[in-house]
Amino acid sequence: MIKSKISNNSKILILGGCRSGKSSQALQLAENMGPRRIFVATCVPHDKEMQRRVDLHRHERGDSWTTREVPLDLAGTIRKTGSSADVMLVDCLTLWLSNLLMENDDEARIKESIRDLAQAVGSAACGVILVSNEVGAGIVPENRLARHYRDLAGWTNQAMAAVCDRVVWTVAGIPVTIKPSPQECAP
Amino acid sequence: MIKSKISNNSKILILGGCRSGKSSQALQLAENMGPRRIFVATCVPHDKEMQRRVDLHRHERGDSWTTREVPLDLAGTIRKTGSSADVMLVDCLTLWLSNLLMENDDEARIKESIRDLAQAVGSAACGVILVSNEVGAGIVPENRLARHYRDLAGWTNQAMAAVCDRVVWTVAGIPVTIKPSPQECAP
Amino acid sequence: MIKSKISNNSKILILGGCRSGKSSQALQLAENMGPRRIFVATCVPHDKEMQRRVDLHRHERGDSWTTREVPLDLAGTIRKTGSSADVMLVDCLTLWLSNLLMENDDEARIKESIRDLAQAVGSAACGVILVSNEVGAGIVPENRLARHYRDLAGWTNQAMAAVCDRVVWTVAGIPVTIKPSPQECAP
């Protein structure tokens, strides 16, 4: 677990590869940020199998969480709902980006959405925890859309890291705080 | 090199991308953990070319190592052989997982094998060094089996990290100790 | 930004995934290493679209930089030009490796080029900043050439890290210094 203090309206980005333990880490952090917790799921189930998984996750989180399914308008949701929550946990940004791309793959429009989200996060009335995937450390994909997606995911992560107080890189379930830097953290 | 002290029966996970220097790092660590060293190779050569490479690696390790080829039963090997060794080095877990998947891709069975290995490592009579690949930081693979494999590899790495005293993230030949955390390590 | 002091003829490797902020980080570091700055671009534009991007980047760097396009002979360029510069910034090594592979994919020849570059960097008369991609933390590619490339990229990164005073791992725009290690950096 992360030892140093998290203030109540901290903005935190949790980054890592697939199955690196990002979501568990995010849930644990949120538990210490106040009782009014909103889980913002960017995954909207399209079939029964997905619905069952989503229900299972909701059950595992327990009654202390309110769940909202928000495939696209994260910025608006944070602006409208932030003042009634202690913490909003968005899981995850890379799926949000997929949703944006599937709706309309115009790069200028997507970059505007990224900037708008960064603005909403940075000025949110409550704590915000963002979960996102690192997808750019493998071989360059042959598929053009995948290359575009990976560029946009990198830009998203940079934009969010810039407005967050804290960035955590997760490896094999272990959280490594990279912002503030370990040197700055030291006593 | 890793500076802080490694106790004799430490459990260590060395993680990193392809050609990040994990195996060299593991061998260097093992040299300081006692003279009775067992190298557990999960790669079983299927042709002359592979056999030559395996023989070359064995030659490079030198006479201070005993080599065992174990494609599947790592937990059993650690339990049966641990008390006669100072250190067992398993290279690597991601290949072990491939071997398990090729034999039988039932998820429940594989998760049971992962839990069983974590139990064997955590309670081993000797030091254990595990080498494993990070495979989840690239773009989502189009191939369903590859997606399944990458989920299982992430779960394997998390399960092993949880029972290890020390986890090392390797980048470009440089070992970065992430467990215990740098803050906890500091004097 | 990286806080600790960078000496004038430091050798620095900036590593990270795609769109992780490596190039911006490299430019920022170079600004503090003296006024005579050479940007060594390994990308040679093949069409008008690429030429426009290259011109844009050159314009963004401003007049304090001299730009050289060097697809292959990085070692020779560093040896010949180093004494007339304060800092040379090479962006990026993974593209240089692609150029080498496209010219001739003989492994022994490429490994010799990697060793030669490491030698030139280590003994350069000026500061050198190398930008390179981590490409080995995704799933194993099905394509044989991609697997070969990723092995070579890993070896390149290890060879350069070994001769550099400082290695920076970049995630979401955040520089994490991994050499010297955080423990060694601490006061």
Considering only the beta carbons, identify the residue of A137, A151, A160 that sits closest to C138: A137
Q: What is the β-pairing status of strands A37-41 and A87-91?
A: parallel
Residues C133, C156: Cα–Cα separation, whole Å: 10
**pLDDT at A116 (0 to 100):** 98
Which amino acid does the sequence have at A69? E
Mention the CATH class of domain A11-185: alpha beta
Residues B51, B67: Cα–Cα separation, whole Å: 14
Neighbours of A174 (CB within 10 A): 25
pLDDT-flagged residues of chain C (< 50): 1, 3, 185-187
User: Which H, E and C letters describe C126-169, residue by residue?
Assistant: CEEEEEEECCCCCCCCCCHHHHHHHHHHHHHHHHHHHHCCEEEE
**pLDDT at A187 (0 to 100):** 39
Q: On the CB side of C1, how many CA atoms lie within 13 Å of its CA?
A: 10
Give the residue-averaged pLDDT of B111-129. Answer: 97
**Which residues of A are known catalytic residues?**
57
Do residue B172 and residue C139 have CB atoms under 8 angstroms apart? Answer: no
DSSP codes of every residue in C29-59: HHHTS-S-EEEEE-----SHHHHHHHHHHHH
Residues A124, A80: Cα–Cα separation, whole Å: 10
C136 touches chain A (CB under 8 A): yes
What residue of B is the nearest CA neighbor of C170? B171
Contact B156, B132 (CB under 8 A): yes
**pLDDT at B3 (0 to 100):** 47
Least confident of A94-98, B56-60, B98-102: B56-60
Does residue B185 surpass a pLDDT of 80? no
Residues A8, A2: Cα–Cα separation, whole Å: 15
Query: Which of B 138-157 lie inside 8 A of A, CB atoms?
Result: 138-140, 142, 150-151, 153-155, 157
User: Quick one: pLDDT band at residue A183, thresholds 50, 70, 90?
Assistant: low
Residues C51, A114: Cα–Cα separation, whole Å: 27
**pLDDT at B26 (0 to 100):** 97
Query: Which of A 11-70 lie inside 8 A of B, CB atoms?
Result: 16-21
Q: Which ipTM did the prediction report?
A: 0.90
Contact A12, A130 (CB under 8 A): yes
Shortest Cα–Cα distance, B177 to chain A (Å): 10
Residues A52, A40: Cα–Cα separation, whole Å: 17
Residues A21, A24: Cα–Cα separation, whole Å: 6
∠A153-A155-A159 over CA atoms, to 5°?
Answer: 120
- Residue to test with chain B: of A3, A5, A18, A102, most B Cβ within 10 A: A18
Contact residues on chain B for A172, CB-CB shorter than 8 A = 13, 15, 154, 157-158, 160-161, 167
Does residue B54 surpass a pLDDT of 90? no
Residue C175 CB contacts under 8 Å (≥ 6 apart), including other chains: C1, C2, C14, C21, C25, C168, C169
Give the residue-averaged pLDDT of A107-134. Answer: 97
Give the residue-averaged pLDDT of B12-40. Answer: 95
Separation of first and last alpha carbons in chain B: 18
CA neighbor of A15 nearest in space, from B137, B132, B167, B183: B137
Mean pLDDT for chain B?
92
Residues A102, A116: Cα–Cα separation, whole Å: 19
Residues C122, A37: Cα–Cα separation, whole Å: 53
Token output for B62:
């030198």
**pLDDT at A8 (0 to 100):** 76
Residues A43, A65: Cα–Cα separation, whole Å: 17
**pLDDT at C105 (0 to 100):** 85
**pLDDT at C49 (0 to 100):** 84
How many residues in chain A? Answer: 187
Does residue A47 surpass a pLDDT of 70? yes
Percent of chain B with pLDDT over 70: 94
Residues C30, C53: Cα–Cα separation, whole Å: 21
